[in-house]
């Protein structure tokens, strides 16, 4: 008999818990903040919209922006725009772009830049000087392994005038060393550092915090590109179209 009382006690407790949840839900739903035609916006929903910061007043306040937006949405639905193919594609594109952006942001935040005092010192040593290097262009990875570049050209350029990625690539090299292959639209490119200390009259960069920020960003970019390349390598990709890829 005591087991029956025990079970009845559990049922009563669960019933009370569910009733409290339902009463809380009822209170939440029964507190409308704005009613626009047949659209009810609760206080909680209004608070969430305000926290999101996605509303901007155009000559009016926050509530005016909410009302204007809801009226436009209702009119768009009345005209059937939400059922059109163009709208569906627009929503799909926005969804995909948002998904990719969140992934990229999270990946970059998780990356730990690799910066050393030697890198900072070498940057200041190269800054303000002309760098002599050779650029090798390859059609594919097989040509890289064979050591058969499609073309090569010797270049002399001031360190400050180079692109950020080229600066970082040459910064990691000693004279005679080659950089890791970088993918381009037509193949791969490899750089060989020939001479890193041709003096000029250019003013060197001495802002250490700015140099560290540059190194940090480039280090993360290299890690991200490597991660993306791993995704491509491990994926099953089949290009069946005859269209020439740009």
3-class SS letters over the chain:
CHHHHHHHHHHHHHHHHHHHHHHHHHHHHCCEEEEECCEEEEHHHHHHHHHHCCCCCCCCCHHHHHHHHHHHHHHHHHCCHHHCHHHHHHHHHHHHHHHHHHHHHHHHHHCCCCCCHHHHHHHHHHCCEEEEEEEEEECCHHHHHHCCCCEEEEEEEEHHHCCHHHHHHHHCCCCCCECCCEECCCCEEEEEEEEEEEECCCCCCCCHHHHHHHHHHHHHHHHHHHHHHHHHHHCCCCCCCCCCCC
Determine which of 59-73, 109-123, 173-187, 221-235 has the lowest per-residue pLDDT on average: 59-73
pTM of the model: 0.65
* pLDDT score at 27: 43
* pLDDT score at 97: 94
200-244 residue pLDDT tens? 666 667 789 999 999 999 999 999 999 998 998 899 888 777 765
* Fold of the domain built from segment(s) 117-224: Chitinase A; domain 3 (3.10.50)
């Amino acid at each position: 008999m005591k087991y029956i009382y025990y079970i009845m006690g559990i049922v009563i407790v669960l019933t009370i818990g569910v009733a409290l949840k339902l009463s809380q839900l009822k209170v939440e739903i029964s507190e409308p903040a704005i009613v626009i035609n047949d659209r009810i916006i609760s206080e909680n929903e209004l608070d969430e919209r305000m926290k999101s910061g996605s509303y901007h007043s155009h000559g009016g306040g926050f509530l005016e922006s909410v009302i204007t937006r809801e009226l436009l949405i209702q009119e768009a639905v009345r005209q059937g725009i939400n059922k059109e193919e163009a709208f569906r594609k627009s929503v799909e594109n926005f969804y995909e772009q948002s998904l990719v952006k969140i992934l990229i942001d999270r990946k970059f935040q998780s990356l730990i830049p690799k910066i050393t005092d030697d890198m900072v010192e070498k940057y200041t040593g190269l800054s303000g000087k002309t760098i002599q290097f050779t650029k090798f262009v390859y059609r594919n990875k097989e040509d890289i392994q064979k050591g058969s570049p499609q073309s090569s050209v010797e270049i002399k350029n001031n360190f400050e005038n180079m692109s950020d990625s080229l600066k970082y690539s040459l910064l990691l090299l000693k004279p005679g060393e080659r950089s890791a292959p970088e993918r381009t639209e037509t193949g791969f490119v490899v750089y060989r550092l020939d001479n890193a200390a041709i003096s000029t009259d250019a003013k060197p960069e001495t802002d250490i915090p700015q140099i560290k920020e540059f190194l940090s960003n480039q280090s993360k970019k290299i890690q991200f590109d490597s991660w993306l390349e791993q995704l491509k390598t491990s994926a099953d990709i089949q290009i069946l179209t005859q269209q020439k890829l740009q």
